[in-house]
Structure 1
Amino acid sequence: MDAPSSSSSSSPTNSIQPYSSPSTQRLSLLHGPSDPPLVDLTLGELLQLQTYQYGTKECIVIPWTGARWTYHDLNQQSSALAQSLLDMGIGVGDRVGIMAGNCEQYAAVFFAVAKIGAILVILNNTYTATEAMYGLTFSDCKVFFVTRTIGRTNNAPLLQNLKNEASPIKVVILRGEGDEYPTYDELVKAGSRQNHDRLYRVMSKVLPHQVVNLQFTSGTTGLPKAAMLTHHNLVNNSRFIGDRMRLTHEDVLCCPPPLFHCFGLVLGLLAIVTHGGKIVYPAEVFDIPATLRAISDEDCTAVHGVPAMFDSLFQAEPPANFKCDRLRTGIIAGAPVPRYLMELLVNRFGMTEFTSSYGLTEASPTCFNAFTDDAMTRRLTTVGTLMPHAQAKIVDRDGNIVPIGTRGELCMAGYQLQAGYWNNSEKTNEVMVRDAAGVLWLHTGDEAVFDEDGYCTITGRFKDIIIRGGENIYPLEIEERLMAHPSISRAIVVGLKNKHYGEVVGAFVELADNAKKLSDQEVRDWVRKTLGNHKAPAHVFWLGQDGVPADVPLTGSGKIRKFEMAKLGDEILSKMAKTSKL
């Protein structure tokens, strides 16, 4: 499944045409290229096909574990594990959870679950024990693959909580000693001893349009949202991603983004597998020296990352004898790319063919992606053009398609849309709406604008999501946690500008009557007790104190004007920075 040659890198303006009526201005309605055609493959079939073609070629390299798996190794390990999962009673549609850092076993679990028609529930590594338990019980997982530690995080509290469950989830230790739990190695060993005839019969009945993956797109307190993604979604989206990068079987991709995110899983692992290349996951969690060593030692041709990751790499001292002469491409996504960073990508790393990208989990994920030969200004200021077999439109608040050049909400249609949110028809129906012609549209909540050539620029968000280093953070769950403290009567959480992360969490809080004011650190510690570290406020402002206004700006209907609150926070921080320099 190598990327097509010349046809895949042709100018997008020849194939992406904005709609225009004979008598009116051109409208913001785009249709992606119809080439290459969609394929109907399951993930298990994909891996088998690539194993036939590239069996002895290296597929996954994990420097921190020493693993160097070929396509044959990945196929063999995942099949043996799939056999053991069948023996454990896991079948079509059953949920299997995973929470671990980047490692070779993670990839094997992903394909093993896919081969038997089960659904992999992917949990964010930053989840606390409370958040992880909610995700597991909400999705009704039967088996849970987990490591005892992830980086510096100890999962002992989570394992203890799992022991106390009335209906215990079967825990499998992914790496290391299992003690009272079975291990990944034991399951693979047991599965490899058996005849796989039953597995092959099960695999033959798995269909491309079945759900294979649940990806949480919101916090797991309040109303959870877990996007249901199919084999068809992931196989085709990853093919088209690799095509835009001009990947071939000779490419080596360094992928610091985590496997629990679509960036590391789909834009990383699957984009490589569909093109017969090799992927390198430098460390369990993002590690600057390990990433630089991997780029050099593995002669990588591509690197993925969010702007904050690249910023950290460029600030660090490269290892001795560092070389990156083969680097040419990679995807930088998750947040806008500053010009200085683009210049460093080209001048320091030689990534003249880097591409910008836009996507969301509910769209499997990539919707727009630049071509490697797009003008540098296009790749800096836009997220490229529409992906094959997709449709996109921009609408106003009444749902009307706006003219080209006008901002509005970006909506997507096509093969890549999620099957819906798991056990949440209300939220599904809110964001997925059929038009009069019967086309199903996903409302992204993001504000965008199209130009005359079909390039898309993301200009803001209809939603209030905070994007910190490429990770989505939802203010509501932080606000609810803050207001659970007896000293806080009101909380408003916004995203504040940050040079390194793009945005960080800022919290405006109101002191409860007769309560003692908390220190900023006490506020952060309170949030971290139940939510991930990255969700703790970097900046805390007390309403009516220390020069912060007591009144909150409201709309006519009484809703908080969050964009004004964010602007206020940025202004306060700017004044503080200027004062500290005096």
Structure 2
Amino acid sequence: MTDQALQPAMLSRQSEEATNHCEQSLLVGESASELWNLTLSQLLQKQVELNPSRQCIVFPEYNYRASYEKLYARTLKVAKGLKKLGIREGERVGILAGNIPAYVELFFAVSHVGGIYVVLNTTYTPKELKLALKHSGCKALFVATSIGTSPTTKITDMLNCLDRDELPELESIFCLKQTPECNFIDYDQFQQAGEDISENELLLEMEQHSAHQVCNFQFTSGTTGTPKAAMLTHSNIINNGRFVGDRMRLESSDVICCPPPLFHCFGLVLGLLAVITHGACIVFPSETFQASAVLKAVSEERCTGLHGVPAMFSAELELLKGNSTTSFSSLRTGIAAGSSVPRKMMADLREKMNMKEITSTYGMTETSPGSFMSYTNDPVEKRLSTVGKILPHTKAKIVNGKGEIVPVGTRGELLVSGFQLQKGYWRNPKQTAEAMQKDSNGCLWMRTGDEAVFDNEGYCSITGRIKDIIIRGGENIFPLEIEEILGQHKSIIQSSVVGLPDRKYGEVVAAFLQHRPTEPRPSAEVLRDFVRQTLGWHKAPVHIFWLEEEEDFPKTGSGKVQKHILREQGKDRLKRLARTSKL
């Protein structure tokens, strides 16, 4: 791998275009550019050689700024601590923390010693954390005493009271953000313990690792079910970050503001690695999401890009209504992903935050995560209505219930194949076999569980989760199209549509709505008429539930609305209404 190979592969649009086969819903991304065969350690080393003094990473809350050279030196120091601890190739090191400097330092340091970095969801309860630690078999754990303004007292109390046989593989626990109440060795002491480790010995070990080794566990449950640990390799996540950065046209002069959490692929890959692969700079505005901190960072750090999920952008846009002093003159691009992005929101980001080159990305944890992404110069309509085109070295198809590829323009389940596919689910061969299946040609495909459609130009539109489709009297209704309409009403900040049981039709439409306090709350019938102006009468919500003022939707740690919880809440409300009507 030459230094030149680390420069962004700015291929022409023509050379990157996907191949569409025989008007069937099968896309093949370009493969003219070679995949990078690098470990995380080698990637960082290469950028130090190319850009030693260039600013790499900023944590404003911690007054932490590091050049590529400084970050690399920090990661070597942390890696010595891991080596002193006895972490060897393939052993797991967990972290439970917000977006803090140690998170990034440990990410690369664990790679230096050949370990696997297990990123843990900050919303875990003590019970959930214990299950995740037991399943992943972490040998060491780094835990913050607080995440944002929320103390992790219940977590640390649970860890303090552990019996050895509860987590037999866990040998060491270290404390990030030391407090008097924390009984574990702190991060500084951990590093000091490794000072006698030879740097030459460490560097020699770093050369022995392969790009195809697993380096990261990302827990995934989507928005339902028991978490599964996706096994991701260096090659998976580095090349994904690289191709994502290429689509954004990232250059070393870019500064990306990244509010999404580092425990999620959005923050770790679409954020951190998209930036590192292009020698640019990344800003993590706060430990946990705060809209005010994001706007401040964008303005003060002169950010050129901003990432976020719809819930984050919604909060930022709301805050802007009362704040006209924030400057967005430097902002040009960013990624809106994580869940379906309403068209109006995409339009608002372009118009109100100057994100003229905003892109949308589609993927899932098991695909490292990206598989589709728009270009910055795609027609605005395509960036508003699709998730773009297939990434290089990737294949995708849409199939019907029998597994047959459907014609272009026909909806079905999206399957993905290519460089980004996980190795599988850790210690879970059954679910791996269910999700990853070989075709008659021996090609391995990942079932996404998402319904999608391709157009004649190779753009992909996600029409919803297959499990979220509402079947009313035998007819499919897609929640996203209703959410798009409701999101255009001036009284609604955000909506989420689910199906609820109905004796006559099987299921009917129910809408959960977040009220904009500055506007009057419309009646249910007014909202139904509003939907019917654009969509069929049967798509108007039968049941309308307003969240309490200041209440938010139930969400995963990465910001996705948990529709299964809304369904249960809706069912409970209907049961209560039924009981009341009988009185």
Cα distance, 1:36–1:549 mapped onto 2, change above 3 Å: farther
Give 1:19's aligned amino acid.
Answer: H
Maintained 8 Å contact 1:82/1:116? yes
Change beyond 3 A, Cα 1:66–1:444: same
Indicate the residue corresponding to 2:135 in structure 1: 138
Cα deviation, 1:147-187, whole Å, max 9, x if unaligned, reads 00112332122122222223263111122347532222223
Q: Which moved more, 1:146-155 or 1:417-426?
A: 146-155
Q: 2:189 aligns with which of 170, 186, 191?
A: 186
Partner of 1:128: 125
Return the match for 2:110 from 109, 113, 118. 113
Counterpart in the other structure of 1:251: 254
Question: Which residue pairs with 2:177 in the alignment?
Answer: 175
Kept in 2: contact 1:293–1:319 (CA 8 A) = no
Correspondence for 2:358: 354
2:572 is equivalent to residue 546 of structure 1: no
- Cα distance in 1 for partners of 2:215, 2:513 equals 36
* 1:42/1:339 CA distance change after superposition, 3 Å: same
Per the alignment, do residues 498 and 240 of structure 1 end up closer, same or farther by CA in structure 2, a change over 3 Å counting? farther
Pick one of 443, 450, 453 that aligns with 1:446.
Answer: 450
CA contact (8 A) 2:29 2:392 kept: yes
Q: Is the aligned partner of 1:377 residue 2:377? A: no
Match of 1:580 in 2: none
Larger mean Cα displacement after TM superposition, 284-293 or 28-37: 28-37
In structure 2, relative to structure 1, the CA distance for the partners of 1:85 and 1:496 (3 Å cut) is farther
Residue 7 (structure 2) aligned to one of 2, 9, 21: 2
CA contact (8 A) 2:223 2:561 kept: no
Deviates more, 1:447-456 or 1:164-173: 164-173
Superposition deviation, residue 79 in structure 1: 1.1
Matched letter for residue 16 of structure 1: A
Q: How does 1:324-335 map to 2 (within 5 A)?
A: 324-335=328-339
Deviations 1:510-566 (A, max 9, x none): xxxxxxxxxx99xx9xx99xxx9986956444354414999xxxxxxxxxxxxxxxx
Letter in structure 2 aligned against 1:383: V
Distance 1:463-1:73 versus aligned 2 partners, 3 A rule: farther
User: What are the ranges of 5 or more consecutive residues in structure 2 without an aligned counterpart?
Assistant: 1-5, 470-478, 484-495, 499-506, 517-546
Q: Does 1:41 align with 2:38?
A: yes
Distance change in 2, residues 1:549/1:75 (3 Å) = farther
Deviation of 1:11 (Å)? 4.9
In 2, the alpha carbon distance for the partners of 1:548 and 1:263 equals 44
CA contact (8 A) 2:84 2:197 kept: no
**Aligned match of 2:263:** 260
Q: What are the residue-to-residue correspondences of 1:46-65 with 2, within 5 Å?
A: 46-65=43-62
Whether the 8 Å CA contact 1:60–1:279 is kept in 2: the answer is yes
Normalising by the residue count of structure 1, what TM-score does the alignment of the two structures yield? 0.80
Alpha-carbon separation, structure 1, partners of 2:256 and 2:209: 30
For residues 415 and 221 of structure 1, do their structure 2 counterparts lie closer, same or farther at Cα, with a shift above 3 Å needed? closer
Question: 1:56 is paired with a residue of what secondary structure?
Answer: coil
Q: Which of residues 274, 283, 308 in structure 1 aligns to 2:277?
A: 274
In structure 2, the partner of 1:300 is: 303
Counterparts of 1:403 and 1:115, CA distance in 2: 47
What's 1:207 paired with?
A: 210
CA contact (8 A) 1:18 1:454 kept: yes
Cα distance, 1:194 vs. partner?
3.6
Q: For residue 433 of structure 1, give the secondary structure of its aligned residue in structure 2.
A: strand
Look up the SS of the partner of 1:304 in the other structure: strand
- CA gap 1:176/1:227 in 2 versus in 1, 3 angstroms: same
Q: Deviations over 1:259-310 (max 9, x none)?
A: 0110011000000000000000000100111111000000000000011211
Does the residue aligned with 1:446 lie in a helix, a strand or coil? Answer: strand
Number of the residue aligned with 1:240 = 243
**1:388 counterpart = 2:368:** no
CA distance in 1 between partners of 2:58 and 2:275 (Å): 12
* Structure 2 CA distance for aligned equivalents of residues 280 and 79 of structure 1: 22
Specify the code of the residue in structure 2 equivalent to 1:18. Answer: N
Give the drift of 1:334. 1.7
CA–CA distance in structure 1, aligned partners of residues 123 and 9 of structure 2: 38
Partner of 2:404: 400
| Cα offset, 1:441, TM superposition | 0.6
Per-residue deviation, residues 347-392 of structure 1 (Å, max 9, x unmatched): 2211110001100000000000000000010001000000000000
1:416 is matched with which residue?
420
Q: May I ask how many residue pairs the two structures share in their alignment?
A: 496
Q: Which residue of 2 aligns with 1:488?
A: none
Other structure's SS at 2:407 match: coil
Q: How does 1:22-37 map to 2 (within 5 A)?
A: 26-37=23-34
Q: Give CA-to-partner distance per residue, 1:447-467, whole Å, 9 cap, x none.
A: 101011110000121245999
Which SS does the other structure have where 1:546 is aligned? helix
Deviates more, 1:294-303 or 1:108-117: 108-117
- The answer to whether the 8 A contact 1:134-1:220 is kept is no
**1:69 counterpart (66, 70, 78):** 66
Q: What letter matches 1:393 in structure 2?
A: K
Q: Secondary structure at the match of 2:448?
A: strand
Secondary structure in 2 matching 1:27: coil
| Offset, 1:201 | 2.3
Contact preservation (8 Å) 1:288, 1:313: yes
Residues 1:172 and 1:375: Cα distance change in structure 2 (over 3 Å):
same
In structure 2, distance between residues paired with 1:548 and 1:142: 52
| Equivalent position to 1:425, from 423, 429, 432 | 429
Q: Percent identity?
A: 44
Q: Is the 8 A contact 1:241 1:267 kept in 2?
A: yes
Distance in 1 (CA, whole Å) between partners of 2:225 and 2:314 is: 34
TM-aligned CA deviation for residue 70 of structure 1: 1.1
Cα gap change, 1:422 to 1:496, in 2 (>3 Å)? farther
Q: Is the 8 A contact 1:407 1:447 kept in 2?
A: yes
Question: What is the deviation of 1:224?
Answer: 3.6
- 1:149 maps to what in 2? 146
CA 1:313–1:443: 2 relative to 1, 3 Å: same
C-alpha displacement at 1:193, in angstroms?
5.1
The alpha carbon displacement at 1:398 in A equals 0.8
Query: Contact between 1:356 and 1:370, CA under 8 Å: does it hold in 2?
Result: yes
Q: Distance in 1 between matches of 2:406 and 2:579?
A: 39
Q: After the TM superposition, which of the residue ranges 458-467 and 30-39 deviates more from structure 2?
A: 458-467
Return the TM-score normalized by structure 2: 0.79
What's 2:18 paired with? 16
- For 1:561, the equivalent position in structure 2 comes to none
CA deviation after TM superposition for structure 1 residue 17, in Å: 1.3
- Superposition deviation, residue 34 in structure 1: 1.2
**In structure 2, distance between residues paired with 1:224 and 1:408:** 25
Counterpart CA distance in 1 for 2:140 and 2:245 is 32
Query: Which position in structure 2 is the counterpart of 1:198?
Result: 201
Q: Residues 358 and 368 of structure 1 are in contact (CA less than 8 Å); yes or no, is this contact kept in structure 2?
A: yes
Provide the C-alpha distance between the structure 2 equivalents of 1:222 and 1:248, rounded to a whole number of angstroms: 40
Q: How far did 1:35 drift?
A: 3.5
Superposed CA deviations along residues 177-217 of structure 1, whole A, max 9, x for unmatched, are 47532222223334345421221222111111111111111
- Whether the 8 Å contact between 2:343 and 2:385 is mirrored in structure 1 is no
Whole-Å Cα distance in 1 between the matches of residues 443 and 223 of structure 2?
30
1:87 to 57, 81, 84: 84
Deviations 1:34-91 (A, max 9, x none): 1321011001100111111111111110011110011112111111111111111110
